[in-house]
Amino acid sequence: MVEKCLHWLCSEIGADGSFSNYNLSDTYNPLYYTRISWILMKADKSLGMEYNDKTSLLFEKQLENWDADFIDKTAFYPGSAAFSHTVIYALRGLYECAIILNHKVALQKFNASLHELLNIVVQNNGLPGQFYNSKYSTSYTCSTGNLQFSLLLLKCNDILEERIINDLLALLLKPVLKSQRKYFFNKGAIPSSLPVYKNYQRFRYTNWTQKFFIDVLLSLLSPDHKD
C-alpha cells in the first residue's frame, strides 16, 4: 500500500520538480511541501529502495527556492501572510531531509533560517503568530506554531546548547500551557489562537493543535517518542 501511494505521489511531480495538480492554490507549491519530500525519503528508506529521482527533483527545487524570503513562501496562498505553524512546518521538513541525506547545503540553510527565527523569538519574547513581507505580527500567538517549534528544538541538541533550548521551550510553552481550558466548555483543549479571537482559526480548538500539544508533552517525558 505504501509503495503504491509512493509511486502515485511521485508521478504527480513534474519535470520542473513541482506539483501542478491538487494544490491548495493552482500551481503554487509552498515551501512546507518539504514535509512531502521528508515522507517520500522515509518511504523509500523503509522499502529498501534507492531514493526516487522524482523525490530528489522535488527536494532540489525546494532548496533552490529556499532563500532569504523563505518565510513568505510558506503561506497557504501566494502573496498572503504565513502563519507561524506553516513556517515551522517547512523548517522541520528541511531539517529532516537534510539529516536523512546528510546534505551540507540543506543543513546550512536550515541553520541560517533557524537562527533567523530564534532572533525574532528572543527580540519579541515569543514567536509571532504570523509573518508577511518581511514583517510579523506579535499581537497573537499561533498555538500550533509554538508547539511545532518546540518539537523541532527538541531535535536540535547538536546545534544549540541545552540551556538555550530549555529557555526557548519555556518561552514557547508557557502561554500554551496557561491557555489549556480547565473548566466547562472544551475542558482540556488548547485554543488555536492566543487570544482565542485572533487570526488563526479564531474561537476554535482544532484537533491538530491538540495533537501537537500531546506530541510535545510525550517528547518531553520520553526522548524516544516519535512525533
Q: Splitting the chain (227 residues) into consecutive groups of 10 residues, what average pLDDT does each group show?
A: 90 95 95 97 82 90 95 96 97 97 96 96 95 91 97 94 95 94 89 87 90 95 77
Please give the pLDDT value at position 53.
87
Cα–Cα distance between 70 and 66 in angstroms, integer?
Answer: 5
Cα–Cα distance between 215 and 226 in angstroms, integer?
Answer: 8
Please give the pLDDT value at position 78.
95
Please give the pLDDT value at position 180.
87
Cα–Cα distance between 210 and 186 in angstroms, integer?
Answer: 11
Cα 90 → chain centroid: 4
Please give the pLDDT value at position 224.
75
* pTM higher than 0.75: yes
- Structural domains in the chain, CATH included, are 2-221 (1.50.10.20)
Cα 56 → chain centroid: 20
